[in-house]
Amino acid sequence: MQFDSVSTFFAMGGYGFFVWLAYGFTATVLILLVLSSIRSHKNIKRQIIQRQKREQKLRQASQQQEQQAQQAQQATEQDESRTNVQANSQTKDSDPKEVLS
């Protein structure tokens, strides 16, 4: 179909309003779809970053708790070994006759 002028092209044989309305509606829907997809993509990326930060904080807290537990265990072991050394030194210093009686 050939058109004699630009105005007849836009008129589309009397159906121009409906044709261009359909094109406009389709373009609007496609643009909204693209914008919605971009927004969703940004939100998902933000959520992933937040989740990764949260997991990293949890890992750090877990490591700190493990370190504190290890330090507490080492301190307890050191206290026990000091107690054993003191008990052994007291036993050696005492008179063997007193131990037998």
Q: What is d(CA 33, CA 55) in angstroms, rounded to the nearest whole number? A: 33
pLDDT of 1 strictly over 80: no
More confident position, 28 or 83: 28
Token output for 36 = 């919605």
Residue pair 10/20 in contact by the 8 Å Cβ criterion? yes
Question: pTM for the full model?
Answer: 0.56
CB neighbour list of residue 10: distance below 8 Å, 6 or more residues apart? 16, 20
User: Percent of the chain, pLDDT > 70?
Assistant: 84
CA atoms within 13 Å, Cβ hemisphere of 1: 5
pLDDT of 58 strictly over 90: yes
